[in-house]
Structure 1
Amino acid sequence: MDHKRELTSVDLAALETELGEFTGAKLDKAYLYAEDDLVRLKMRDFDRGRVEFIIELGDVKGAYVADADHVPDAPGRPPDFAMMLRNRLSGADLVRVEQFEFDRILELEFSREDGSTTVVAELFGDGNLAVLDGHGDVIDSLETVRLKSRTVAPGSQYEFPSARFNPLTVDYDGFVARIRESDADLVRTLATQLNFGGLYGEELCTRAGIDYHEAVEDLTDDQLERLYEVVSEFAAVLRDGPLDPRVYYEDLDATDEDGEPERRRVDATPVALEEYDHRYSEPFETFNAALDDYFYNFQREEEVEGGETTKPDFESEISKYEHIIRQQQEAIEDFEADAQAEREKAELLYARYDLVDDVLSTVQNARTEDVPWDDIEAKFAEGADRGIPAAEAVVGVDGSEGTVTLDIDGTRVTVDADTGVEKNADELYKEAKRIEGKKEGALAAIEDTREDLEAVKKRRDQWEADDGEAGGGDQADEGDDEPTDWLSQASIPVRKNEQWYEQFRWFRTSDGYLVIGGRDADDNEQLVQKYLERGDKFFHAQAHGGPVTVLKATGPSESAKEVDFPQSSLEEAAQFAVSYSSVWKDGKFAGDVYMVDPDQVSKTPESGEYLEKGGFAVRGDRTYFEDTPVGVAVGIQCEDRTQVVGGPPAAIEGDVATSIVIEPGQYAQNDIAKRLYREFKSRFADESFVRKVASPDLIQEFLPPGGSRMVDE
């Protein structure tokens, strides 16, 4: 049996109350162990004394208060993230510990005289920690997340994942409805649709006395009532206690000196489980204490005779997730087809409005006169024999349901005989929308599964990399001077560290100078008023409609100074300015650009003139770069930071693992972004890496306005 490596939603529901008992503790210091993806919050409680709150976000994902003897020694010089935590939290009181909905997310809110700070631990996927201010804006995060569904990035409003269905608070009707929606057997329904996970899904089946593999459609009302009773009792224990925390072991094929079986820890649970009746267990006073014991010891117990480590069965776990993804993808395709079918039925009702209305009117008139349903069906059959089109369309009448089934142009549609065409069509549209809602839930679920799959692959690749380093000996150093062939790497680690200038368009020249440009009028205003300093150079295309472009001499925290920029940097900045202007949008391949010093740029118009938002006045002599060719390359960096970058080809191509040059062309921004994404995926062995750092949305941020094409197409 594999070790437990992550807390479940059930675990966090049980842990929430216990961790809440530590509210009032004051934070002394925060530590970040970057190599282990571990955050340690050292606090002081009036009654308990020293409190060590551990948050693990790597291969192991957990959150618990550890015994002082179980915490690692303080690391060396604290990284910037740890210093930020200390600045925000030192002396602050812990005022709230709460699980978000029924998700694997834990919120820790701290309060200080100067405001509140919330630490959000995401214990799923690759793991993440976000630090929020009192308004919910992200101050900083260990990982930057930019998905269609949510964003976690410094300066943005923190977005939680879509709320998961909470089986611990749902009423009976909602519980039954959720189960009845499933096409799977009971245990898989409890595990996935009700979010209990496999182990607790099996446990609930066992407690309710129902076979795991009972089909949902075969469940009786009595079985559902018993199951809901078991779930309610389980929820009450998790919420109010008393818990019965256990650490479970499995027997190894060995004995100790006393002849007793040797064992290793495999799980920690908040309650005793009937599913684990056959396992040796150790009870604990609190679930937190059980988790501390488990996570502190389980890695040590992976060591076997000879000092080697037992390799986890990664391939089996990967295969499991891939199978789940295939099933989820099939379900999504079914939902799409079902929703489309319902819409087509609704459209058929309108397309054959007169025929449908004739059938419905006939039934309604007959029912008003108390004509029996069987006679109505017979009347339609008689009319069909006489060749009446409306009667010929009727293929079934169900008096118990009050419905009529029609064959309209080869498609069967069942309608409610008591209402009109519009109402029936509306109900079909509603059903299509309901099915699409299930599709959205399935899409969220498949995204979670893909995150879990990538996490397993990352653990496997890290394991193999570590194993190779351990066995490589002196030979491992022989090729250190050789450049890494990133395109052929099976797994590329993602390293992100978002910078202040990434809110704008940007690139670094081939000489290393930063160039930033506006995306819109607001950006242009900000660049001129806030970031244009002495020593910088201001560029703008001669054509109307272009970004403010600033070649920076110094960073925002450095003293302004004059710099003798190389000609190559000046020409690259000019090419950047013309490429992102209306010149590209107009399909032209060259344009003029001028350059001035910061003191020549003003937001104050001449008397009688007016400056629009994003506009500016330029006074004095200008240096022109005539007929500057447009040119943009988009590339992917793999060293130091992993990210998509874009700008003049001469600046980009020498700083990336691979790049693609584009020019004005026929494809819209969204379309060319997808084409570039597919091309990048074909170049990298690690396609998941491209998906993480260079999605179409991220690529599009570096594309000029208007149409483009790849130069080599």
Structure 2
Amino acid sequence: MEQKRELTSVDLAALVEELGAFEGAKVDKAYLYGDDMVRLKMRDFDRGRMELVFEVGETKRAHTVAPERIPDAPGRPPQFAMMLRNRLSGADFVDVEQYEFDRILEFIFERDDGTTRIIVELFGQGNVAVTDGEYEVIDSLETVRLKSRTVVPGSRYEFPDTRTNPLTVSREAFDHEMNDSDTDVVRTLATQLNFGGLYAEEVCTRAGIEKAMDIEEADEGVYDRLYEAIERLALDIRNGNFEPRLYLEREEDGNNGDDDSDDGDDGDASEQVVDVTPFPLEEHEAEGLVADGYDSFLAALDDYFFRLELEEESAPDPTEQKPDFDEEVAKYERIIEQQQGAISGFEQEADDLREQAESLYAEYGLVDDILSTIQDAREQDRPWEDIEARFEEGAEQGIEAAEAVIDVDGSEGIVTVEVDGEYIDLVAHDGVEQNADRLYTEAKRVEEKKEGALAAIEDTREDLEDAKQRREQWDADDGDDEDEGDDEHADTDWLSMQSVPIRENEPWYDRFRWFHTSDDYLVIGGRNADQNEELVKKYLEPGDQVLHTQAHGGPVTVLKATDPSEASSSDIELPDSSIEEAAQFAVSYASVWKDGRYAGDVYAVDSDQVTKTPESGEYLEKGGFAIRGDRTYYDDTPVGVAVGIQCEPYTRVIGGPPSAIEGQAETMIELEPGRYAQADAAKRLYRQFREEFTDESFVRKIASPDRIQHFMPPGGSRVIDE
């Protein structure tokens, strides 16, 4: 029997009766898992902590969940979750209703500043819409634009067309619906009366009516018995006369070889959950299903969906058992590599800080002159802008101290100077000795971090050796798996794996826009003016290329010749293919895409042609920069973005030019400018990725719509060939 994954209208009618007992509970916090599960953490004054869950994806459910079964909270709350928190924190749960006999629940919450309605659609594609007290949509997981109804932020929420409610139907209306049918009795109850297949059969069984009876053969006596069975069912729901059942199907895996035995020993048998109902069903008893009773329907629902998920996760997959050891070993090796890199970084950082401090003493007179000039000016209440202008004038006149000043940040009281080729940030109100002492102290603090990392790496090495020993023991105990181990080096079919191992990595550039070219060069771009400013001032090094669109509003795009942790070099010749991909990246994440255009002009310059120092009469806004010298133009560069899921060496979402992403992602989806808003397009991609991977939980963990949106261009998009 197929396992139940969606609640029926009868289930929801019973559910509403039991949820009413929680009226008055207060909302603490809201969460969104993936793009289809909402969790409300609440406090009921009689029962304590209460967890309410709505899921509207492939599984469609709404019920309370035991706190110990709640999954860990997602990392960064997306916009929808933040909106719920802002509207519901501290609100009272005042009511829950089922819309007609449809699979729609309406949860109502009140706070001093207004009413919030959460409308959960447990049919079709599923949806959760949040409205105010007047049904104006604040936000929804899905936007709906159909001829029959619209669910769009800013508009009034529209319910689907009303259907017959069999639990409240009058006898006259019942007769009319039955007489209007041209099929058999059970199909008429399922469709005309909206019972659905299971409860249509149950009504027939309780009424003692043959399901396949042609409607034309049904007389007044048949209608009487059917209507009485429906009335009894409706009365049980209204009065809360529930006897919840969780139904299990027994699967025989073998027997004990004694066919004549009647001692109850069925040999090796396994049971799987197949249904959960608010009262016993004669239909299920006739099918021989095993039934477990529960005190409440909510408890039965919680247990059913928990066991359903547990069965899916524990489904045997021999091909995935052994690689778990390899993944554990690989994880510790990655951690050690990262720790070694951190240690090297700490050593270099401490050395650099000490060298900076020594440089201050080596150029004591020059640095003292700069600091004294600033301090004297501030004592005279001269604004920072005047101080900066004075240094610029002095630099034009060839004054050595003024030429050494790179930047003056009045908001922080910091002056950046160049001493012996090093940029050093100085606290303007301190003297040379105080600034040098600060650098020495910082170097000491960094070295202490290095000592902590050294201790941590020893612990990790012990964990690594332990994992290797357990793997060797496993191999020794099960030599038959040797051939399977040899296949580990073959291509892995990630899409078909039942459980894809998570290999997390958060690189330093993850907060920017980024991708690796098909030649494995890093390209990073700013998301806003602050990041554009940071890229030019902090990460632009000799040998790098800077690309920018002719159109206004494009990101600063830097094609890195080397990693910031490596020695920079102007001798590296960047491949044309990488430059072209960086150009496509620059134009795709600019206003060109947002304006719905398919191509734009891009120019490229060397890093030494970029400056933050304007010419006399020039003005550079925040995030802007000046170019000196010739530019190389890439006219009519086509836009193009693909978003993909990478499975090795790390599991993560990646995005950028299709030619680059294609070789790095296990699967990818190409985009072009289109009509779907960024958030809506991200949800479409998320659903498509979930369909491609057997392990849907893997997609939910590493490729949420919020994370996918991180790699999408600003403005509307559509999937190519969709």
TM-score, normalised to structure 2's length? 0.45
State TM-score, norm by structure 1.
0.46
